[in-house]
Structure 1
């Protein structure tokens, strides 16, 4: 991609940031907004929903971090399937590492509670799949461009896929941002913060729930910590880390940051491959 195109897409992100001038809100207005507009979207994982206070909240950015094979993608796919099945809205899935699998969606749908005959089950799968929109993106500039187009679509109240988008998933955000970081240049950090602010703006202004995944890196003393550093960790409203129990389908989800819950709380969830 040429430098002029990259600069244009980065400029679009800055424009979105500059246009976000939230007015001051009273506590009464914030409470009313939460109660009337910012609904919860259940993921379908009972333990995870309990840990989140009911599910993925619209208007907020939730991050799930974890090492490879910990179940991050499975949480994304299951959440997309469950929300699409419950007629809660359209799910937009931005796939950055070829993680989206229609076959895995079909397996998940077969696991969802139902007492349907085969034909009805097939129609259910078709309906769910039609409410999940997937697009592959492989660099931060493509992400910024997609977010710019999404902003225009939402601003003009254009339904995508026959419904209103309620959930935006990026699996994984770190695979897009990570390659831009490092070195003496501040461009990568600028692009990372820009993307984060735009995601939060879209969530707040259009009642989206945004779910992103992040990988883990070695921190002080060799302990694992979410990637992308100090500048990123302030951006998500909610941060969870999940780890898989060795040799089993049981995972432990732990709160690192939450707007309502205390950090350190944990819950067990079962993730089927």
Structure 2
């Protein structure tokens, strides 16, 4: 997260708990400037199913991992599959231990994160206990970032690609701005072509105006890029100096993350 800019509409105040008919958030106890209220671990299931899917078990925190299991059990369910949006530790560090607790496989784009034979890729449809999730490649924040389209709830789970509050960073050099812009456009198409109305993010509150959120992200990124372009044209090309100029109003604790985004912006502009 690199910017505290407000998103359009009214994000829901509650972070943990039920979000849609099929999605419940179990909030990890790892709040920070980068993780907002903490990592959102999503527990998904059809209303009448005994099987659940977990997206992003979160950090290696035993109490949190057991709380996810307990939440499923309280609803009369067991966890049948674990999925990862990307490999950052606040989303994926606890996956191996969670697999031990639940006996589940872990599916991810990055082979290094998988536990089991199956990965995840563009066009895949994951079905567990009647629940259908469509895999949407959304690289940019990281090279391995994925989102998951939940058609039955007209929702998309975005990991760190779209947050519930503020904006995210492009984790240069792993992430790339060109890829990230393409991913935002891909998600925007879900709102116009597939009726997606809700964003279930990896951090922060649920967003009930998915289309507005994606349009805000695209316009905000374009505005930042124009600011960086102006800095370059004025002779300011050192990433730290660009951050100080362009992100002057942003909390200094976020400047290191902002510098990663600036490096990605400079690479994009200079064709490096």
Bigger RCO (CA 8 Å, 6+ sep): 1
Global fold match (TM > 0.5): no
TM-score bracket for the superposition, by shorter chain length: 0.3 to 0.5
The normalised TM-score by structure 1 is 0.34
> Whose helix proportion is higher, 1 or 2?
1
Q: What's the TM-score, normalizing by structure 2?
A: 0.34
